[in-house]
Amino acid sequence: MSDFISLTPELTHKTVLLNEAIEALQIKPDGIYIDCTFGRGGHSRLILQKLNVHGCLIALDKDPAAVAAGQAITDKRFTLIHSEFSRLTEVLNVLGVNEVDGVLLDLGVSSPQLDEMQRGFSFRFDAPLDMRMNNSSGETAANWLANVNESLLKEVIRNYGEERFASQIASAIIAARQNAPIVTTRQLSEIIAQTVRTREPGKNPATRTFQAIRIYLNQELEEIARVLPQCVDCLKPGGRIVIISFHSLEDRMVKHFLRDMAQGDQLPRNLPIRAAEIRQGNLRLIGKAIRATSQEILANPRARSAVMRVAERMGRGMYD
């Protein structure tokens, strides 16, 4: 068998902004790259296609199913690690990698996770209420809902789902569990549907609550906050970070982080200090946010909310 992977397209997952993301990375044939969110390998496969025999790709994923799917790639230039991406620095230290030429983050839940009913991410199926991205550990949504108090439940639904009916939904869930445990996606979605009478056209009433519980249980925003500084730290000068977000909470974090890292020291005017002594930003923002084209959205409706942001590592200065 060849050391190089087969580039057969994935049949179960349509990678969003595939070509745009890889183009933004500006792949060097002999570079070292990190795909922090392997998923089903759409981005990884195209990165590998652009590397020569001296190039290297390191991929991470916390989902055991994604890691199992990645075993089909037998390319010697490719290393896949079962890990949360918030452990990026630890992973690179174990591999003996100090600097890389590019980092890719494709945030959120993947299509296979949504489409595999037993994972319990979607209200489209009647399935066990799980929602764990790493279903080999941690608490299921069913267990959490059985024990959470109403105050925290309302806070989670409001803050992570941006749900204006958070108070009513939380009260309804607490009342319903007094009669019977909430253990399936259908049970939960029906409770929400009976509580939320109005919603945007085409949007299921349970959408925001399911999103909120998933984000909270998987600590998705906390994971993003931990990994972003690590991504910058491991980049070589001129290396790029490419981040694809799928909802406003993610994108807001990414946007603010990249902006702050690009600004450097913000000092009062007329301060008696030389320009050379002012710490410049560690990143340079590349272009504006990129969204999927109408053609991509038509082929893959899940691409409609995707936002891609790109930044480049500046040269290391006196404060690095």
pLDDT value, residue 4: 33
Q: Can you give the pLDDT at residue 115?
A: 67
The pLDDT score that the predictor gives to residue 137 is 86
What pLDDT does residue 122 have? 81
Q: What's the CATH fold of domain 18-111+220-313? A: Rossmann fold (3.40.50)
For the domain made up of 135-217, give the CATH fold: DNA polymerase; domain 1 (1.10.150)
- Strand positions, DSSP E, the chain: 32-35, 56-61, 78-82, 100-106, 235-245, 283-285, 290-291, 307-313
pLDDT along the chain (320 residues), means of 10: 35 80 98 96 96 98 94 96 97 97 91 72 86 90 97 98 96 97 96 85 87 95 97 98 95 96 66 51 95 94 94 69
Q: Is 42 annotated as a binding residue?
A: yes
Number of H helices, E strands in the chain: 13, 8
CA atoms within 13 A on the CB side of 18: 19
61 is in an annotated binding site: yes
Domain boundaries, the chain: 18-111+220-313, 135-217
What is the structure's pLDDT at 319?
A: 37
Per-residue pLDDT at 280 = 62
pLDDT at 281: 87
- The answer to whether the 18-111+220-313 and 135-217 domains have the same CATH topology is no
pLDDT for position 269: 55
**Is 113 annotated as a binding-site member?**
yes
Report CA torsion sign: 285, 238, 222, 204: positive
User: Annotation-wise, does 41 bind a ligand?
Assistant: yes
Which tokens belong to 37?
A: 């969110």
For residue 43, say whether it is annotated as part of any ligand binding site. yes
Is 106 annotated as a binding-site member?
Answer: yes
Is the CB of residue 153 less than 8 Å from the CB of residue 165?
no
Q: What is the DSSP string of 98-139?
A: --EEEEEEE-S--HHHHH-GGG---TTS--B----SSTTSS-
